[in-house]
Amino acid sequence: MARKFFVGGNFKMNGTLSSIKDIVENLNKAQLDSNVETVIAPPALYLLLVRELAKKEIGVAAQNVFDKPNGAFTGEISVSQLKDSGIDWTILGHSERRTLLAESDETVASKTKYATDNGVSVIWCCGESLEQREAGKTLDVIAAQLAALKSKNPDWSKIVIAYEPIWAIGTGKVATTEQAQEVHASIREWLVKNVSQAVADETRILYGGSVSEKNCKDLSKEKDIDGFLVGGASLKPAFVDIINCNL
């Protein structure tokens, strides 16, 4: 079965009541490609608002979730609270949380396991720094991140992988289509060897890193690129063009 193209929009720590209402209204009015799964991730404060306003075809994701049940964990959000609010997705392992908040491969894997076991799907992020790429360690870094995830035995059917080269996030630098395809193919090959052929065939692998309406068409043509995780461009009207890049 063909993998359904997937476009996620990560708003990060951006937006106001007014601007987020405008973004959702723009998406609701647009003719979005029905062959694309669209999921948007507003800041936690606006999750309920977005879920109430967005048409049901648009998925809504948290930008983080904790790996414990409800309890004495100040500032965190639980999986059951997301489900109670109609939120079916979360982003985990984004490089900004790995670097700024020191989330380890183990922490990200534990959160992913807990979320998928309890009914929330995960956009699981991986990627290398510029220093690691220049040292030729890209595939080693990503393999280590994947190995930590595999060690937890998560529900792979609830995971979408997002490859995000850290050096290309918000910098305007974009991996060439060839660079992106090479890493995506290596991730799929890792899944074949270490998980199963079925998981490798079915798991969608997204590219993230300064994706725009200008480069999305070329990237989408690569055989192992199954969609995008979009940052800054998801706050703009051009996000619709990215969703519809295959029309």
What digits encode the pLDDT tens for the residues 176-229? Answer: 899 999 999 999 999 999 999 999 999 999 999 889 999 999 999 999 999 999
Annotated catalytic residue within 96, 128, 164, 213: 164
Long-range CB pairs of 169-178 (<8 Å, 24+ gap) are: 169/95, 169/96, 169/127, 169/208, 169/209, 169/210, 169/231, 170/210, 170/231, 170/232, 171/210, 172/210, 173/209, 173/210, 174/209, 174/210, 174/211, 174/215, 175/207, 175/209, 177/218, 177/219, 177/221, 177/222
Annotated catalytic residue within 94, 96, 184, 213: 94
All domains of the chain in start order, with CATH? 12-243 (3.20.20.70)
Three-state SS at 218: helix
One-letter amino acid at 98 equals: R
Contact assessment for residue 126 and residue 149, using Cβ atoms and an 8 Å cutoff: no
94 included as an active-site residue:
yes
What digits encode the pLDDT tens for the residues 143-179? Answer: 999 999 999 999 999 999 999 998 887 777 778 899 9
Write down the pTM of the prediction. Answer: 0.96
Neighbours of 188 (CB within 10 A): 19
